[in-house]
A and B are shown apart, each in its own frame.
Chain A
Amino acid sequence: MKNNKTFKYTILVGLFVPMALFILGAYNGVMQTLYRAGVLHEDSFAGINYYQGLTMHGVINAIILTTFFAVIFGHVTMGHYLKKQPPKWSYLGSIILMVFGSLLDVVLMVMGRAQALYTFYAPLKNSPFFYLGTSLLIVGSWVAFFGWIVMYREWRRENPDKKMPIAVLGTFVNFTMWFVASLPVAYESLVILLPWSAGWTSDINVPLTRMLFWMFGHPLVYFWLLPAYIAFYTVLPKVAGGKLYSGNAARLAFLLFLILSTPVGVHHQFSEPVLGQDTKLWVTVLTFGVSIPSFMTAFTVGASLEYAGRKNGAKSLLGWMARLPWFLSKNYLFGYFICGLLLFIFGGLSGIVNASYSLNQMVHNTGWVPGHFHMTVAGPVLLVILGMSIYMYSKVAGKPIKMLSVVTIVPYIWMVGVALLSHGLMAGGLMGEPRRTNLGLSYTDPSSEMFNTHWVPTTTVTMVGGILMGVAALLYFIAFFGTALSKQTEPSEIVLPEAEELHEEKRIGILHNMKPWIAVSVLLTLITYVPSLINVFTYSTPVENKFEATSPVNEIKNLPDKDETTIMPLENEKDN
């Protein structure tokens, strides 16, 4: 590959910017656990109020950091496997849009002009520029994807007989899903919310915005997860000292995600009016289906690790576990992967509870839910982001990692922290502890009449976990920025550890062609969402509501006759 400074510089910027923002995201995470445990009985601390901080936490950690990583890891994957570079318009255009959009969002959140949380549920409103900033970030990630398509076509012409590498397939599956899924949210943000927030329109169909959001929201969680899966299949076996157990299983898993990720968004809406029980049950079944590629991944990765352990000399049934490179700084990436996988066992099982129709009634919107997803997005997803970010930065910048032993133990501290945090949140959730709530002002304040003693122990465990995660994050930041700001001493290169496949497997045609899978995906999405849309329009009515989080006064002045219709039923009631 010809040496291109701009491309490498783009990669470094794309790793540095989100990691710097993540300092703010992680800080707010730790603060939330203090408020919730009732250590802080304040509405704000150091100029940031609870919900403003929670908005930053969600937007920075779950949208900005994850999207940047998917794009940059994609650039490095494409560069490494295809030995090419994407066209300049794509990587430059993409990074400019993404950085600009993210900074716009961050400035608005810091100013308090966007504090409706990362799900921006209407009729709470944000500044119109927030919807614009988020859209620019998403469009920026598409532009990178378009560049890879051009690059892949070229590679295909030059290498007509080669198999599409697994990591490349995974990346394409991920971005195809992402592209399709971000259309509804782009429509929601740009066509419905932005004009409404700016005051150009006044009617808003709230259930419709929620359905569109979750059409995107579930694929979003797989968009976070798939880069980690790509790393588990193609990097981890190498780092553990073994080989990938089955390449065909890896390909099939990715393609199953492609068809099953988009149609399941309704499983976030089991408690909602407007969507029918039949749709909800159907989506439960589909979601059970999407757990299959995750089970496959667990077992394929497990088998690859067992192979690695036996190659290192293990004999007994479980002895291979001991022969893996735990705490070995030469293989520091291993810790990030394995800690993520261990958390993901519990993240996955608690996720099936959420997906299970009526079981969801016990946990929806309680602490259980953040308890669950910190074992997924703050588990394998974040640990792969941290591990691979410092790896890629060090290789592409040509700067050896500083404080390697600290970098090696960070994932273990983080894992213990997440386990405690999630345990506390989930236990509290089963006793009704609500999520997205500044508990310290009421439920965990002994002087409040709303005080609830049951939630004191659970929020305290959560806080201990949160502080441990904060310590791990701090150590990581010191090492990451120490490395990034040091002097270049080695040649710079775009590389990844690359695992070989254990068996030479038969080539199965359908696993090498994405088109039929895309068709099935569209079909399943229609089967689910056409009835849902019909439900929305049958059962709901648009309203003229618009609210700032700080005030219960409707910003849209109701027309006189409008006022009457809302007051009348109350008067009838008095007559009775």
Chain B
Amino acid sequence: MNKYEIRVIVLSSTILGVFFFALLFNVFSRKIDVPTCIPYNASFQKSEVRKVDEDYYEVYVTARMWNFDPGEIIVPRGSTVDFYLTSADVVHGFNIERKGVNLMAVPGAVNKTTVKFDEYGEYRIVCHEYCGVGHQNMMGRVLVTNSAL
């Protein structure tokens, strides 16, 4: 191998190393991970915001043409939320702005992720998968209130 080849290998591996570091940083430090698997059954097709604990919520969302149910989710500041997401009809998307929550709502399957809301405010949930002619109107909201826990 000549010296140029060695430089090229070092350079390429460094680039890949940087990306690998960034993805681990996202998982461990920013707590943004890809969703997990749980077995599906029809009882996931519901609309519910369930308070489990003072600062812990379970939210069951059903996406359908062309809204999220529930469309408005209200939780106090500092809560940790488990989202369970499924679809009643076709495939939809579920992207909570500024939180790195990015899920697909797939009929016959349930998607799950956990996220903590530390800051007060409104977070829009955008459907980002084409789901028919009303797709561009499909939006929900998470409202994080300032009330003390």
Contacts and interface: CB of A to CB of B under 8 A. Distances in A.
B89 A547 contact: yes
A303 B4 CA distance: 10
B100 A540 contact: no
Interface string A106-125: 00000000001100010110
Contacts of A535: 37
A356 B35 contact: no
B34 interface: yes
B52 interface: no
B20 A436 contact: no
B22 interface: yes
Given A123-B107, A358-B23, A271 B35 contact: yes
Given A352-B19, A432-B97, A550 B132 contact: yes
A502 interface: no
A531 B111 CA distance: 18
B35 A272 contact: yes
A123 B105 CA distance: 12
Given A121-B91, A569-B42, A573-B47, A358 B111 contact: no
Contacts of A276: 36-37
Interface string B31-42: 011111111111
A541 B102 contact: no
A135 interface: no
A270 B34 contact: yes
Interface string A275-317: 1110010001000100110010001000100000000000000
Nearest to A364: B102
Interface in B35-69: 35-48, 64-66
Interface residues on A, range: 35 or more
Interface stretch (A202-210, A395-403, A406-414): A202-210
B139 interface: yes
B149 interface: no
Contacts of B43: 568-569
Contacts of B33: 277, 358, 361
A352 B37 contact: no
A432 B39 contact: no
A442 B136 contact: yes
Contacts of B106: 206-207, 210, 272-274, 540
B16 A436 contact: no
Interface in A27-45: 43
B74 interface: no
A520 interface: no
A566 B19 contact: no
A549 B128 contact: no
Contact of A552 (B35, B46, B65, B85): B65
Given A274-B106, A547-B90, A441 B137 contact: yes
Contact of B22 (A205, A359, A538, A541): A359
Nearest to B16: A288
B143 interface: no
Given A273-B37, A273-B109, A358-B27, A436 B130 contact: yes
A337 interface: no
Interface in A448-489: 450, 452
A356 B15 CA distance: 12
A543 interface: yes
Contact of B133 (A51, A353, A366, A443): A51
A460 to B, nearest CB: 18
A565 interface: yes
A206 B107 contact: yes
A356 B100 contact: no
Closest 9 CB pairs of A and B: A434-B128, A552-B65, A273-B111, A358-B26, A365-B128, A436-B130, A295-B12, A273-B109, A549-B132
Given A365-B95, A432-B95, 6 more contacts: A51-B130, A124-B131, A358-B33, A361-B34, A541-B40, A552-B65
10 contacts: A117-B130, A272-B111, A273-B40, A359-B23, A359-B26, A364-B102, A437-B128, A437-B130, A442-B137, A570-B46
